[in-house]
């Protein structure tokens, strides 16, 4: 397992009281369309890339004969563990680790690998900027209710200028929260730069405005 850690972590499970099995980590990526699970269908017609959240440069050992699981445990249990929302572990949410909390790996929070909270963009020379950020579409519920408002989202602007690890901070409901997340997934940003000029990930808080014409 990689030890060049940016901090962070994750956990998960399938609400199975049996401890999670020993296994390998999936690759890290800034998108998680599919959380790691035990193999239910060995020959899927449309296999999806399984990932955990974190910088793609974090390398994990290629262990082709192992299923996904927790590398540092000792038992092969055929269980993803007592946690929930996918992944392996005892907590949440689509990550890999016995006691983390997020979609990364090991004991920390949010994403990445290691411990504590990931240090995305701790030292930057240029903050992220919005390069292509079209307005979101209203939901039918909000339009019927003539509801306007602002949705506040917390996310990581990746070195590739995309929004990742999006979570809702505050919103008016009526379907606007979901429409805001859908819109931000398609936004493009100028990413943060560190003092040496490299693009780096950085946490930001974004306001998505909904205004009736």
Q: What is the CATH number of domain 129-210?
A: 3.30.2420.10
**What would the two tokens of residue 8 be?**
């962070």
Domain locations along the chain: 1-119, 129-210
pLDDT of residue 1: 43
- Tokens 């017609």, located at residue: 45
Using DSSP's 3-state secondary structure scheme, residue 71 falls into coil
The whole-number pLDDT of residue 123 equals 67
pLDDT at 117: 74
Alpha-carbon gap, residue 111 to 93, rounded angstroms: 10
Instruction: Give pLDDT, residue 120.
Output: 65
Which of 70-105 are b and which e, b meaning 16 or more Cβ less than 10 Å from the residue's Cβ? bbebeeebebbbbbbbbbbbbbbbbbbbbebbbbbb
Task: Say which residues have a Cβ less than 8 Å from residue 23's Cβ, sequence separation at least 6.
Answer: 66, 67, 68, 69, 70, 71, 88
- Helix (H), strand (E) at residue 132: strand 129-132
Distance (Å, whole) CA 82 – CA 102 = 15
Gap between the terminal Cα atoms of the chain: 53
Local confidence pLDDT in tens for the 213 residues of the chain:
444 456 788 999 999 999 999 999 999 887 777 889 988 766 666 567 889 988 887 888 878 778 999 998 889 999 999 999 899 999 999 999 988 999 899 888 888 888 877 766 656 778 899 999 998 999 999 988 888 889 999 888 999 999 988 989 999 999 999 999 999 999 999 999 888 888 988 888 899 999 887
- Which of 17, 55, 57, 16 lies closest to 37 in space, CA to CA? 16
Check the CA dihedral 76-25-67-82 and report its sign. Answer: positive
Q: How many beta carbons lie within 10 A of that of residue 170, not counting itself?
A: 12
* Spatial separation of the C-alpha atoms in residues 141 and 84, rounded to whole Å: 30
Q: How far apart are CA 22 and CA 79, in angstroms?
A: 9
């Amino acid at each position: 397992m990689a030890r060049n850690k940016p901090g962070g972590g994750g956990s998960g499970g399938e609400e199975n009281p049996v401890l999670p099995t020993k296994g390998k980590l999936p690759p890290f990526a800034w998108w998680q369309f599919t959380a790691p699970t035990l193999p239910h269908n060995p020959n899927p017609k449309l296999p999806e890339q399984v990932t955990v959240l974190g910088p793609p440069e974090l390398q994990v050992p290629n262990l082709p004969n192992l299923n996904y699981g927790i590398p540092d445990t000792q038992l092969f249990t055929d269980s993803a563990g007592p946690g929930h929302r996918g992944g392996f572990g005892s907590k949440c949410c689509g990550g890999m680790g016995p006691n983390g909390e997020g979609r990364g790996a090991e004991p920390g929070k949010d994403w990445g690998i290691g411990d504590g909270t990931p240090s995305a963009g701790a030292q930057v020379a240029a903050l992220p900027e919005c390069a292509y950020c079209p307005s979101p579409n209203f939901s039918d519920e909000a339009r019927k209710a003539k509801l306007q408002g602002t949705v506040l989202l917390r996310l990581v602007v990746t070195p590739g200028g995309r929004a990742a690890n999006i979570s809702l901070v505050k919103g008016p409901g009526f379907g606007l929260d979901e429409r805001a997340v859908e819109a931000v997934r398609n936004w493009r940003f100028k990413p943060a730069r560190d003092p040496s000029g490299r693009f780096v990930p950085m946490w930001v808080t974004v306001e998505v405005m909904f205004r009736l014409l």
